[in-house]
A and B are shown apart, each in its own frame.
Chain A
Amino acid sequence: MAEAVWTTLALASLTTLILLVLAAPLGWWLAHGRSWRREAVAALVSLPIVLPPTVLGFYVLIALGPASPLMVLLHPFGVRTLAFTFWGLLIGSVIYSLPFAVQPIRSAFQAIGPRPLEVAATLRASPADAFFSVAVPLARRGFATAAVLVFAHTVGEFGVVLMIGGAIPGKTEVLSIRIYQLVEALQFGEAHKLAAALVVFAFLVLFALLVIDRRAGAPRS
């Protein structure tokens, strides 16, 4: 069981980290303008919200399998497949939680408005400088929301991790799958402990989100 907890935490932390870095430029780009190109990308990013996890899991599994063009590129490096590995799981999680990172960050960037960036430009800050010294700090609540949502969403994920990971203990078996297997094996006592822990966890996460939202009124830390 400790293995499942560890795998879950590692997966959720790494997914969160990767997505914050990935969603920052993506959310920034999406926040500026409403061309059809941007909306197409925005729709693509949001797909995981509406797709059944099995569909997403299925395609990611194929993409990570030994015959996929992506994996063929990695063959010279000694990588034949990422299916049923932790790294494959991580890639699937990143795609699956992408909208939960991009949307709060995009909205937070939009909420800043053009003025602070114009101020930065007239004070000789280059666009990159202004992004890091003005936009990111002003959008920090969006980043906090994204981090909490992604972490929680990854902990709660089931379908995708089952499809891609295959529930290998110590490698790809996460808590949600562990609970499923305990129930299958009629070990209700064990299942109860984990399930209750996840309920408490989920409550704390949502509570944290509301607290972040409450601070909306106080602009300065």
Chain B
Amino acid sequence: MSGARTLTFRLNRRFGEFVLDCAAEIPGLGVTALVGPSGSGKTTLLRCLAGLVRAEGRVSVGETVWQDERRFLAPHRRGVGYVFQEPSLLPHLSVRQNLAFASRRAAPGEGPSLTEVAEMLGLAALLERGPERLSGGERQRVAIARALLSRPVVLLMDEPLSSLDLASKAEVMPYLEDLHRRLRLPVIYVSHDAAEVARLADRVVRMRHGRLGPMVEVRPERRAAKGPLTLMTPGQVEALARAALAAGIEPAAAEEA
């Protein structure tokens, strides 16, 4: 995977009553969970980052500028991996063809092969099937594999589990945790499920009325070993994360972390 690069953005746009006004620096490594009530603009922010919706402002990844006052890079030139809320497989293509659609157009460079990614997400046995013959969980795993095969520089996941039933969620979750350990790129993971966030997120940003709150680290043990929080067990960290979420994440919690 590509070297870790920070995703920096400052975006604003008015959509009727709703105003999106966000700025953040997303670290080049690990999962940043974007949480907040529905209608707070999480999906809109992701779509703006991907270039699917135009907003004013600036977006850059490392040294590469995706948009500023003068230019606007079209979505297909940005190199975002995007996992949509509903599994959005191309219905006229088999699983293998869906994956090949991505790998054939992937950025030049090194990365796992189609077979390796299919293996990673447990799809080896499903490759020749059509999307209509897959369960919801299987479809979403294909969508995730496909996004990875395009060798994105940023991975955006818009509530990838929310359209799934409990059993399918439980089925996909271990794959996400596994990816979390392997991926060397910034991931933004939209969710409003506290358990999901506690299991996956390295940091949490809360969104409200189109604005972002402060970024809160929830898995300090993954950072360089220093500070008192590294002494906490993962269970304690999870409890802290849950507490932070339940409290709506106050700036005080950010300072403490």
Contacts and interface: CB of A to CB of B under 8 A. Distances in A.
Interface in B149-188: 150
Contacts of A123: 76, 101-102, 105, 146-147, 150
B106 interface: yes
Interface in A105-138: 115-116, 118-127, 129-130, 133-134, 137-138
Interface residues of A, number: 22
Contacts of A220: 91-92, 94, 130-132
Contact of A118 (B75, B94, B106, B132): B75
A219 interface: yes
B82 interface: yes
16 contacts: A118-B75, A118-B88, A119-B82, A119-B84, A121-B51, A121-B76, A122-B50, A122-B52, A122-B75, A122-B76, A126-B76, A129-B76, A129-B105, A138-B91, A220-B94, A220-B131
Nearest to A124: B105
B138 to A, nearest CB: 15
Contact of A115 (B88, B101, B132, B147): B88
A124 B76 contact: yes
Given A123-B147, A134-B92, A140-B92, 18 more contacts: A116-B88, A116-B90, A119-B90, A121-B76, A122-B52, A122-B80, A123-B101, A124-B79, A124-B106, A124-B107, A124-B150, A125-B101, A125-B105, A127-B74, A129-B76, A219-B91, A220-B91, A220-B130
Nearest to A118: B52
Contacts of A127: 74, 76
Interface of B: 50-52, 74-77, 79-82, 84, 88, 90-92, 94, 101-102, 105-107, 130-132, 146-147, 150
Interface of A: 115-116, 118-127, 129-130, 133-134, 137-138, 140, 219-221
Contacts of A115: 84, 88
Contacts of B130: 219-220
B91 A125 contact: no
Given A115-B84, A219-B132, A220-B130, A122 B92 contact: no
The 5 nearest A-B residue pairs measured at CB: A122-B82, A121-B75, A124-B105, A220-B130, A121-B76
A122 B147 contact: yes
Nearest to B146: A123
A120 B75 CA distance: 9
A134 to B, nearest CB: 6
A120 B150 CA distance: 11
Given A115-B84, A121-B52, A133 B101 contact: yes
Contacts of A125: 76, 101, 105
Contacts of B82: 118-119, 122
B42 to A, nearest CB: 17
> By CB atoms of chain B within 10 A, which of A120, A122, A219 has the most?
A122
